[in-house]
Amino acid sequence: MDSYLDEREKWEALLAWLRANGPAMLTGVAIAALALGGYRWWQGHVNGRDLSASVFYGQMEHDFASGQQAAAFAMAGRLERHYGPTPYADQARLASAGAFVDSGHLSRAAGELATVMHHPHDAILGLIARLRLARVQIALHQPQQALTTLDGVDPGAFAPRYDVVRGEAYQALGHKRAALAQYRLARASDTGGETDHQLLALEISELAANLPASSAGQHAAAAAGARK
């Protein structure tokens, strides 16, 4: 009998707890269900958006490759307007910058690259934009500005390529020893084939042939210390 009463008391206590807390539990379950449904809707929306953006980007690439510049730039503009928060918009700007470089409009290329560099939707694309902007600045006879562009950021796996462009900037400034130091850094750190090894070796050989070995070595050590 006592055992029966204990079980009944437990059951009544459970019913009382449900009456008191049931509405809150149901509300919590409803909120969780809504949140899950909202998350799934958002994921579907993002996936659909990215798919549409990829179609636009593919068309833009085709237009650039087939020489339809006006159509390609128009498609790049649509990507920016409708899919601005996606990396496809950054890639469209990078492609547009490449087209501007090919047609000799370096200032316009610099503008596109600077936008991606300062407001990237993907960190890797931001690093690529920074590197390409520095090269455009060298072509615009702004090597000191190119060095500033390359500074203040961790290039990660792109470090050898950054060192090469720094070397190009120093060469444009007439600082051959500093250029040699950067090229040597690039060669020493490039374990993943990021640079053109043959071209880099040629640059190093030509510069080293005209500089005292001790001075070149001192500058290499100084550049290594500065990058740390």
Look at residue 93 and tell me if it is in a domain. yes
Residue type, 162: Y
Question: 120 or 39, which is more confident?
Answer: 120
Q: Report the percent of the chain where pLDDT is more than 90.
A: 44
- Last-in-domain residue among 113, 142, 171: 142
Task: Give pLDDT tens digits for 90-132.
Answer: 999 999 999 999 999 999 999 999 999 999 988 999 999 999 9
Look at residue 130 and tell me if it is in a domain. yes
Q: Say if residue 138 is in the same domain as residue 159.
A: no
Task: Give pLDDT tens digits for 169-193.
Answer: 999 999 999 999 999 999 999 888 8
Confidence label for 223 from pLDDT (cuts 50, 70 and 90): low
Position 38 scores a pLDDT of 46
Which residues 6+ apart lie within 8 Å of 99 measured at CB? 64, 69, 72, 73
Nearest to 200 by CA among 178, 222, 217, 185: 185
Look at residue 70 and tell me if it is in a domain. yes
Q: Say if residue 88 is in the same domain as residue 120.
A: yes
Confidence label for 45 from pLDDT (cuts 50, 70 and 90): very low
Q: Say if residue 98 is in the same domain as residue 158.
A: no
Look at residue 69 and tell me if it is in a domain. yes
Q: What is the mean pLDDT of residues 148-173?
A: 95
The answer to whether residue 51 scores a pLDDT higher than 80 is no
Confidence label for 204 from pLDDT (cuts 50, 70 and 90): very high
Rounded to whole angstroms, the Cα distance separating 92 from 194 reads 23
Look at residue 55 and tell me if it is in a domain. no
Look at residue 12 and tell me if it is in a domain. no
Q: Give me 227's structure tokens.
A: 């990058």
Look at residue 31 and tell me if it is in a domain. no
The answer to whether residue 34 scores a pLDDT higher than 50 is no
Which residues form the domain of 215? 154-228
Q: Say if residue 171 is in the same domain as residue 121.
A: no
Q: Say if residue 124 is in the same domain as residue 178.
A: no
Look at residue 177 and tell me if it is in a domain. yes
Q: Say if residue 129 is in the same domain as residue 161.
A: no
Rounded to whole angstroms, the Cα distance separating 137 from 122 reads 22
Q: Say if residue 190 is in the same domain as residue 133.
A: no
Position 2 scores a pLDDT of 43
Domain count, the chain: 2
Q: What is the mean pLDDT of the chain?
A: 79
Crossing angle of helices 123-139 and 106-118, rounded to 10°: 150
Position 133 scores a pLDDT of 97
- Last-in-domain residue among 142, 170, 197: 142
Nearest to 105 by CA among 74, 113, 77, 87: 113
- Last-in-domain residue among 118, 142, 166: 142
Position 1 scores a pLDDT of 39
Q: Say if residue 163 is in the same domain as residue 223.
A: yes
Confidence label for 162 from pLDDT (cuts 50, 70 and 90): very high
